[in-house]
Amino acid sequence: MAMKDREANYAPEKKVKKGTLLRIIKYVLKYKLRLFFITIGMIGSTLINVGASLFIKVAIDDYIMPMLLQDKANVDFLPYLRIILLFTLFLLVGVLCAIMYKLLMVTLSNGILMEIREQMYEKMQSLPLRFFDTNSAGDIMSRYTNDLDTLRQVLSQVFPQSITGFLTVIAIFTSMLMLSINLFVVVAIMLLIMLLFTQWAGRKSLKSYRKTQSFIGGLNAYVEEMVLGAKEVKVYCYEDRNVKVFEGKNNDWAKAVVKADTLSNILFPVSNSLGNILYVLIAFAGGMMMLNNITNYTLRGNGILTIGTITSFMTFTKTFSSMIAGFSAQMPFFVQSLSGAERIFDLIDVSPEIDEGTYKLEKTSKNSWQWNNGKNKVPLVGNIVLDNVNFSYEEGKPVLKNINVYADKGQTVALVGATGAGKTTITNLINRFYEIDNGIITYDGINILDIKKKDLRDSLAIVLQDVSLFTGTIMENIRYGKLDATDEECIAAAKLVYADSFIEMLPDGYNTVIKGDSGGLSQGQKQLISIARAAVADPPCLILDEATSSIDTRTEKLVQKGMESIMKGRTVFIIAHRLSTIRDADVIMVMKNGEIIERGTHDSLLEKRGHYFELYTGVVELD
């Protein structure tokens, strides 16, 4: 299935976009004490900045103009110097307020990002496997990188500037009304034009930025696929085709970015031009009013406009229009961060795995366990039954049909069949990686729906065909099967599956550090570590999904001896392509198109000369 189709199949339902900003604000409000001091700092800084413009009026009307009218020989500069000194101290307080709230805002924004990142990761641990099947790893990683980075910008830059801008607007508007209602009307008309334009461009760019975030997620996903499949790219000479596909995806992203940036980037020059026009209008209107002695109706009563009033008003206008232009310049980051936040919250809002189980697994003695739900206690034996189970990944497309499997303690059940027959799906259902459509699966007579998922999975160990090793030592990777296992237990498990011989030959033995891709190990060596991991878990049930598929025939014989030891007394499900490895299974189930068409022992199935006989003798290929 194509990546775009996979994403579409599991796209979380979109929330009302207006709620995204409110949700971010709720995170901010959690830091009440810090927010209190940030608010104090913002208010102090804003009032002092606005007060600087009011000072101009006082300086001109109350000090400079009177000194101009005095005899130059008798001018007293001392009062003016005092007010300048007072104003300097006033500005220093504003600088301290600004430093305080900006430093606090840095710690607040990083605290919010840390909380959101933890919520994202915790949610991922609770998501059903279906989510990871239908969302590419690259797109998921893009939410941790690109989307969180855009959110960081809005928290550390856009939010503080927007809040201080809002406070400044209130303070400026109040000051303008006190200075001149007549001139304020001119400002209000131009302000309305600027706001309407900003709203229109912001709404248009938001749609485009949503597309850019989606496209960048797709790009990351494609790059990740090609990196993981680098060998196949080389083998099949896919390089040129790979580049063409990437160029197409990159081109789609570039078109979306150009459209979004075109809309957002015209905001600043247009808003800045409108601000300059307003500045000129105020100078012209104020000058005409003053020359014609037009009455200046203010909140303080009637009066005549003065040079100081007009100058302060022009300063306010310049400050205000610069803020609008600055906000317009920040609009792209704000819009982009909102679209990124939507994707982050989409992940956080995905419904977790449903787990209504009540039975928990508890140890009764060294080698004895039981299921306990507080009312009933059932010994853990390892009897697993699938009764008339049906399952489909997509509605209307059944993968398993009327599956009946009975596995008692100590039995080995082998599942064989072509790729896509449904073998691995059965083991996934036993683990409750997916929920069945109908039928029932019981474990020791208990419906697995009534068992806590964690406890259910603790009772099972799985060895998969595709091994996942993690960055750390060999010892730590083996201990992944049982986190409290001692070094001696890990080494014993490795010896049991004959992994000890190659581990001891590594530079630091069990303390050899491997990367997540374990590039220094062969596929067979990685598989042996995975089998050792299952051995140290020492579970009552084992699932071996092509566990020896990547091991050569000689190594396979050694591993088979070890597997026989850990399989003894346990319920075991084996999925195998090499039919020679399942000859001793208690029951072999042959699957085709999601149904069990034959069942029996190796010898009885050969006697039937049916589908298994054809697979074993090579008449029919086992894909």
Tens-place pLDDT, residues 285-333: 777 777 665 555 444 444 567 777 778 777 877 777 777 766 666 666 6
What are the backbone angles phi and psi of residue 167, rounded to the nearest 5°?
-65, -40
Tens-place pLDDT, residues 238-260: 777 778 888 888 888 887 777 77
Please tell me whether residue 612 adopts helix, strand or coil conformation.
helix
- Rg (C-alpha) for the chain, rounded Å, is 36
What are the backbone angles phi and psi of residue 136, rounded to the nearest 5°?
-70, 150
Candidates 252, 31, 28, 33; CA nearest to 158 is 28
Candidates 311, 235, 347; CA nearest to 58 is 311
What are the backbone angles phi and psi of residue 556, rounded to the nearest 5°?
-60, -40
Tens-place pLDDT, residues 474-499: 999 999 888 888 999 999 999 888 88
Candidates 503, 505, 563; CA nearest to 534 is 563
Same fold, 18-348 and 412-419+455-617: no
Q: Which fold has domain 412-419+455-617?
A: Rossmann fold (3.40.50)
Q: What angle do CA 589, 591, 597 make, to 5 degrees?
A: 80
Arithmetic mean of pLDDT, 412-427: 89
Place 267 in a pLDDT band, splitting at 50, 70 and 90. low
Residue 481: CA count within 13 A, CB half-sphere: 27
Residue 560 identity (one-letter amino acid): Q
Cβ distance 401 to 594 under 8 Å? yes
Q: In whole angstroms, what is the distance from residue 346 CA to residue 20 CA?
A: 10
Q: What is the pLDDT of residue 294?
A: 54
Q: 130-139, 201-210, 385-394 — which is least confidently predicted?
A: 201-210
Output the 3-class SS for 76-91: CCHHHHHHHHHHHHHH
Tens-place pLDDT, residues 328-378: 666 666 777 777 888 889 889 988 888 889 999 988 877 788 999 989 999
Domain parsing of the chain, residue ranges: 18-348, 412-419+455-617
**Residue 531 pLDDT > 80, yes or no?**
yes
| Chain center to CA of 379 | 41
Residue 364's contacts (CB-CB under 8 Å, 6 or more residues apart) are: 370
Tens-place pLDDT, residues 56-110: 777 777 777 777 766 666 767 788 788 888 888 888 998 999 899 888 988 898 8
**Residue 559 pLDDT > 50, yes or no?**
yes
Residue 269's contacts (CB-CB under 8 Å, 6 or more residues apart) are: none
Q: In whole angstroms, what is the distance from residue 247 CA to residue 240 CA?
A: 11
> Which CATH architecture fits 18-348?
Up-down Bundle (1.20)
**Residue 400 pLDDT > 90, yes or no?**
yes
72-86 burial: b if 16+ Cβ within 10 Å, else e: eeeeeeeebeebeee
Place 439 in a pLDDT band, splitting at 50, 70 and 90. very high
Q: What is the pLDDT of residue 13?
A: 37
The H or E element spanning position 414 is strand 412-417
Q: What is the pLDDT of residue 440?
A: 96
Q: In whole angstroms, what is the distance from residue 205 CA to residue 260 CA?
A: 5
pLDDT > 70 fraction of the chain, expressed in percent and rounded: 82
Tens-place pLDDT, residues 148-175: 888 887 788 777 877 887 888 888 888 8
Candidates 198, 191, 177; CA nearest to 50 is 177
Residue 326's contacts (CB-CB under 8 Å, 6 or more residues apart) are: 161, 165, 268
Q: What is the pLDDT of residue 550?
A: 61
The H or E element spanning position 129 is helix 129-134
Cβ distance 415 to 423 under 8 Å? yes
Question: Which DSSP state fits 359?
Answer: B
What is the torsion angle, in degrees rounded to the nearest 10, for the CA atoms of residue 341, residue 344, residue 345 and residue 350? Answer: 160
Both tokens of 136, joined, read 């590419």
pLDDT > 90 fraction of the chain, expressed in percent and rounded: 19
The H or E element spanning position 402 is strand 397-407
**Residue 2 pLDDT > 50, yes or no?**
no
